[in-house]
Amino acid sequence: MTDFNRHPDSYHHWQLEYDGAVAHLRMNVNPEHPFRDGYELKLNSYDLAVDIELADAIQRLRFERPDINAVVIGSGQERAFCAGANIVMLKSSTHPFKVNFCKFTNETRLSLEDLSQHSGVRSICAINAACAGGGYELALACDEIHLVNDNNSAVSLPEVPLLGVLPGTGGLTRLVDKRKIRRDHADVFCTLAEGLRGKKALKWNFVDAIWPKSKFHDQVGARAAELAGEAKDKGAAKGIELKPIHFDSSEEDGKSTMKWEHVTVTLEHGNRVARITMTGPIGDQPKDGPGFEAAGCDTWAIKAWREFDDALLQLRFDHEEIGLVVLETRGDRGALVDLEKTLDAHQDYWLCKEILLHTARVCRRWDLMARSTYALVDEKGCAAGAFLELMMACDRIYALDEDGVDFVVGPLSDGDLPMSHGLSRLQNRFLATPEQGDKLAEEQATMIAPEADEEGLVTYLLDPVDWEDDVRIALEERVSLSPDALTGMEASLRFGGAENCDSKIFGRLSAWQNWIFTRPNATGDEGALTRYGAPEGAQFDWRRT
């Protein structure tokens, strides 16, 4: 099982330091601590272990250091800023791991952009040496890119000419969508293995500033202090400690169970089905921002969503055979909605805002699961608030037509938990009748199951007599279909409407990368990725398809 818990005291690959309102996050990859044996992390190249630490550091900036207003991402090595994802690691990884690794790194870069956009922590990437592939994609996720102007330092995306694959962490999309680089300049850059240096990189907008080595650190520091000074004052916020998230595992009757405090995952290996049960808040909950701060990371609004996030990552990386995830929720609908009303009313308080932003990021990870997802709402179900958001993110919702099965649209469904393409899940659900989504979000009504069905919130409303058989048949039918076809179908159907930069990264780039990773031109015996570093060059099938 993969442990996604990290702490700065035990980082192997990053150094996190603070200077007033500025954080310095330096990449200094230890070659002797890869995610798995079989390769060496040279030249600040990275793997999943490196990126898990980066994700942890960004999360800690949010919750533990609200006094930080800017972050400088740099290198702890003189010879390299970052050589990108480790090539030997990619070559030796399974196809699912490659794809899931790229997805995780994408989500981590998006969290860095979210840190700037919504939490007001601006970021500078300080490139002191060669910066290639995923290293430059990390830079592209920052607000500003500063480059040493010398004969050695350059930025590049060499994946196409050297490896026969695409930059896997949003680089292509950010060039044209985020930095608005001209298409022809981007085309030249992405086929130029050596990349661009100094003045040319600045002229074509691949970096925001260049400095001679003698002035580099002073100029970057001055700009970081300037950005930190422009940030909104968060008052006397102290921050809360993020403790590790743990689960207990057990095996019985051919089933595996992972149990956190508020989340349980049961794996039915023979059926290729995972059942996630998430339980709502119990007992008194904080009533304002300082109350949440006093409760710390053990409060339900933080801990439950961290546990759900951990569960999704466990399923993604360690249980590839699972084809269908069934979501069931439990708890008091009123208590959950009341808690969300408190968070909604106190969004101006730094921690309430961070809790909502974290919930939104976890919901987006759920949106992007490469599994079929069904929601079941029975007499014990809690189809309310953010739990209803998770249900609307599912491919289908099955509801029991019985007294006590109610649906409650909560205060966060009006856009506080947006999907990757910026729409609320109600807007995404009712693209043809947007007034319906607006009405439900405004009314925040409580509906019995038949009313929810009438309002368009249910896929199948089932009679109690048929419930068990109909659900069983539905699950069996789903897992009998081609997993490849389902992945493509679901990704195409889940995000309706206009695209943005984030949705393009997952829906377009990741889909093409997924396909390219299976092609002989990249990963065949004579493919470019396979033969990278070997004396023989790649042998391509020249047919364009």
Percentage of the chain modeled with pLDDT above 90: 94
Position 195: which residue type? G
Residue 539 DSSP label: -
CB 231 within 8 A of CB 121: yes
Give me the pLDDT at residue 358, please. 98
Between CA 52 and CA 4 the distance in angstroms is: 6
Contacts of 188 (CB under 8 A, 6+ apart): none
Say if CB 401 and CB 450 are below 8 A apart. Answer: yes
Across the strands, what pairs with 447?
407
pLDDT < 70 positions in the chain: none
- In this prediction, residue 42 carries a pLDDT of 94
Question: CA-CA distance, 424 to 494, in Å (whole number)?
Answer: 12
HEC readout, 43-93: CCCECHHHHHHHHHHHHHHHHCCCCCCEEEEEECCCCEEECCECHHHHHHC
Domains in the chain: boundaries: 8-229, 248-487
Instruction: Report which residue type is found at 57.
Output: A
pLDDT of residue 41: 96
pLDDT of residue 127: 98
User: What does the buried/exposed string (b/e) look like for 159-178 if buried means 16 or more CB atoms within 10 Å of the residue's CB?
Assistant: bbebbbbbbbbbbbbbbebe
CATH of 8-229 among 3.40.50.1370, 3.90.930.60, 3.40.50.300, 3.90.226.10: 3.90.226.10
Contacts 24+ apart (CB under 8 A), 9-13: 11/53, 11/57, 12/49, 12/53, 13/41, 13/46, 13/49, 13/50, 13/53
CA distances from 528 to 374, 517, 533, 538 (A): 39, 11, 9, 5
Chain centroid to CA 185: 29
> Assign residue 458 a region: left if phi > 0, alpha if psi is -120 to 50, beta otherwise?
beta
Instruction: Give yes or no on whether 8-229 and 248-487 have one common fold.
Output: yes
Q: How many CB atoms lie within 10 A of CB 101?
A: 22
For residue 267, give the nearest of 320, 214, 225 by alpha carbon.
320
Amino acid identity of residue 302, one-letter, is: I
The answer to whether residues 72 and 112 touch, using CB atoms and an 8 Å cutoff, is no
Looking at the domain that runs over 248-487, which CATH code has it been given?
A: 3.90.226.10
The set of residues, in sequence order, having a beta carbon less than 8 Å from that of 59 and lying 6+ positions away, is 111, 242, 358
Tell me the chain's radius of gyration from C-alpha atoms. 24
Length of the chain, in residues: 545
Q: How far apart are CA 23 and CA 39, in angstroms?
A: 31
Which pLDDT score, from 0 to 100, does residue 40 have?
Answer: 94
From the list 110, 105, 160, 95, the residue with the least C-alpha distance to 487 is 95
